[in-house]
Amino acid sequence: MSIEIVPVPAFQDNYLWVGINRPQGTAFVVDPGDCEPIDRFLRSNQLTLAAILITHHHPDHIGGVDALTKRFRCPVYGPKGDRFPQVTDALVEGDNINVLDCRFDIIETPGHTLDHICYYAHSESTGEKPVLFSGDTLFAGGCGRLFEGTPGQMLASLAKIAGLPPDTRLYCAHEYTLSNLRFAAAVEPANQPLQARIERCRRLRDQDIPTVPSTLAEETLTNPFMRTAERPVMLAAEGRLGRPPKSEEETFAVIRKWKDSF
Ligand SMILES: [Zn+2]
């Protein structure tokens, strides 16, 4: 059974991803920070909400959960811990869940927050390319800010994602791509695939089309936070530090800090 995945825009730049099983008339939503746009979408498509998947506890990811569960009484999957009480099925690394005939493996990705998890669906269960709901961990062209975790934790989380198949479709929670890629170009001005990606994404945004999903292969070639072991990124970190970075972790930390004030 193949699912259809569509973005429901919310707030300034959030994507609330909805997975749809049309023949069954059912759907799941990832990180419903707002109830209203999801409710409207489900009604106009005559869909019943079968599950809510949460990546982490930030308000723009969970704000709509109470209102949606009141209407649909569906399970709420989310990270184990006590950060928010609405979770009915608490998940940890290595767990898997079945939603709309789709199997998701749970990957713990601390860094942006300590409780962050990602949902990975294999090609067998989606009927097509593998899918990752990456929340605020890995963005198209960038990665989440380190609100709670350390650079080492985030680097290890991104390394887990880097181990997934290159054709994995990456569904992140924000349309930050163009500003992320502008920063990426400051880190690696000579990266040709990156320049081509910027052009591609500009054209999409000019037509108000989402730049998400991207693929893991694209991120490996153009996202500086997935490239901290690559020489051009190490050299950029060296330029900021005034000496060679001592480790990949230090490279990551320097690039992440640079992005915070870019
Ligand atoms: Zn967040």
pLDDT for res 101: 85
pLDDT surpassing 80 at residue 127: no
Q: Which of 31, 34, 39, 61 is catalytic?
A: 61
Question: Is 112 a residue of the active site?
Answer: yes
Question: Is the peptide bond preceding residue 245 cis, with omega within 30 degrees of 0?
Answer: no
**Which pLDDT score, from 0 to 100, does residue 82 have?**
87
What is the per-residue pLDDT across 3-32, written as a single tens digit (0 to 9) for each? 899 999 999 999 999 999 999 999 999 999
DSSP 8-state symbol, 225? G
Q: Check residue 150 and give its pLDDT.
A: 98
% of the chain exceeding 90 in pLDDT: 94
Report the separation in Å between the CA atom of 73 and the middle of ligand 1, taken as the mean of its atom positions.
Answer: 25
Residue with tokens 């269960």: 125
Q: Is 136 a catalytic residue?
A: yes
Residue 38 scores a pLDDT above 80? yes
pLDDT of residue 229: 98
Catalytic pick from 31, 39, 60, 105?
A: 60
pLDDT band with cut points at 50, 70 and 90 for residue 94: very high
Q: Which amino acid is at 186?
A: A
Query: Residue 90 pLDDT > 70, yes or no?
Result: yes
Q: How far is the CA of 18 from the centre of ligand 1 (A)?
A: 18
Measured distance CA(237)–CA(231) in Å, rounded: 10
Q: What is the pTM of this model?
A: 0.97
Q: How far is the CA of 3 from the centre of ligand 1 (A)?
A: 26
Q: What pLDDT does residue 128 have? A: 76
Task: Kindly give the distance from the C-alpha atom of residue 113 to the centroid of ligand 1, in angstroms, as a whole number.
Answer: 7
H or E element in which residue 119 lies: strand 117-121
**Residue 180 identity:** N
User: Among residues 31, 39, 56, 115, which one is catalytic?
Assistant: 56
Residue 174 designated active-site: yes
Query: Residue 1: its pLDDT value, please?
Result: 46
